[in-house]
Every structure is written in structure tokens, then in C-alpha cells.
Structure 1
């Protein structure tokens, strides 16, 4: 498997829709909104197996101090091959001079993965959200 990583936004609506739906994420049901959101993001790093989009991470930053990571996903057939870790490492290197790199995992079972990559749970923090669905 020869995975290529890119920090360009040259993916199509259909490609991101298929990737997001492959992991069962709700945002994949809104492909036109999803592509606009990704194209407007500070940074999107993608993983490709030839012409197939197999992974993606997105960052939203303020240009200086804080970056929020939202979306880190790998197509199920490609999970367990270090793709997510490599995507995260690219982001960590890019934002190494920022004061904070924040992530809000949607699932508790992903906490161990992020801890393995240097993230810590905020002692008194709590994730909060307003959901408009």
C-alpha cells in the first residue's frame, strides 16, 4: 500500500461524501455543505491510495495561537495502517509553534488514540455543543 499525503484541497464533493459515509458520519449526508466547509478550512490534509481518498484531517485556526482539529477519519478498509497517526503528525508539525492544539473527540473510545499522540484530557474541561438537526 502506497499512501500519498497532500495538503491541497483538490478533492471532489463525491469523494468526501463517500469517505464520510464509509465511517457512518452524519456530515456525509450533507455533501454540498461538507465540501464548502472543507474548502473554507484553514488546512485539510488528505490521504490517497492512487485516486481514492482514504483519509482526511481538518484544522481550523486563528493564525497564531489556537488550532482546533475537527474531522480525523480513515476509510474502514484502511484503518490500522497508521494513516490517522500520520495525518495527525502532519498537523502537529504544522502547528508546533501555536500555544494550543485542541481536539474534541466525538467518541470516548478515541481518547486513548489521542493520548498516545500527546494530547491530555483537560482536568476541569467539558465538551459542549449546540446541535441543529
Structure 2
């Protein structure tokens, strides 16, 4: 049975690193920084199979006008079971009053986010500066 929470207490560097490695995200290469980033997030919704972290979404927010969902991921062994949808709905409920909700999607996930009400913004382009 999958359980869901906003509690950060059970999040470990190793559990977060394992989850990020499972989806082959580069962030897993920086386990200390990644753990600190998740722990410093405005909020984190997680999915657990027993004591195994199998899904996560984090939010960065000004607590007034805008929220940015930076990481949304589900262990591939659990994808398609509704975990991603559940944790994103948890986040959307938590930030319902925010004027602007933002995320950047990989092309293959656009349909998933559209099913949650997100729409591409035609008048803006995501911009990045990467370090390291």
C-alpha cells in the first residue's frame, strides 16, 4: 500500500539519491546538494511503499503570489499507478490560492501535466543558467 505525506522527517540523502537515480536524473550526481535542496523546499509531497521513497514533488514559493514545482518524479517501477497524479494533486490543493503555478516539463510528460490543468505559456520561454 502506498502512503503519502508532506512530512520531511523521513527523507534521507540515500533515499532521495536512489529515487533520482531510478529516473536517471543528473541531480542524483550531487547527493549532498540534492538532499539540502529538497529539505529547504517550501514543501515536499512524497509517496512511500513501506519505507521506500517511490515518488516526490517539491515546491519553491514566495508564499503569496507564485509557486514553482521543480522536481516531480516517480520510481519507474511504480509509474502508471497514479502516484505522480496523487502527489501533484496534493501540491495543487496546497497551493490552490496561488495566482501563478509554474513547472517546466520534459516533452514526454507534457500530456500528463496538461491532464492536471497546466497549459504551455505561448508568450514566454524557460531560460536556464547551469553551473558545475
Q: In which range does the TM-score fall when normalised by the shorter chain? A: over 0.9
Partner deviation per Cα, 1:74-108 (whole Å, 9 max, x = no partner)? 00100000000000000000000110110111x11
Q: Counterparts of 2:118 and 2:98 in 1: how far apart (Å)?
A: 14
The TM-score, its normalising length taken from structure 1, stands at: 0.96
Identify the residue that residue 100 of structure 2 maps to in structure 1: 100
Q: Counterparts of 2:29 and 2:52 in 1: how far apart (Å)?
A: 19
Q: Counterparts of 1:111 and 1:126 in 2: how far apart (Å)?
A: 15
Aligned CA-pair RMSD = 0.7
Q: What is the deviation of 1:132? A: 1.2
The TM-score, its normalising length taken from structure 2, stands at: 0.97
Identify the residue that residue 128 of structure 1 maps to in structure 2: 127
Identify the residue that residue 81 of structure 2 maps to in structure 1: 81
Aligned residue pairs, count: 131
Identify the residue that residue 42 of structure 1 maps to in structure 2: 42
Q: Does 1:8 align with 2:4?
A: no
Matched residue SS, 1:91:
helix
Q: How does 1:107-126 map to 2 (within 5 A)?
A: 107-126=106-125
Q: Does 1:72 align with 2:72?
A: yes
Matched residue SS, 1:124:
coil
Question: Which residues of structure 1 form unaligned runs of 5+?
Answer: none
Q: What is the deviation of 1:57? A: 0.1
Deviant stretches of 4+, over 2 Å:
none
Q: Counterparts of 1:73 and 1:5 in 2: how far apart (Å)?
A: 14
Question: Which residues of structure 2 form unaligned runs of 5+?
Answer: none
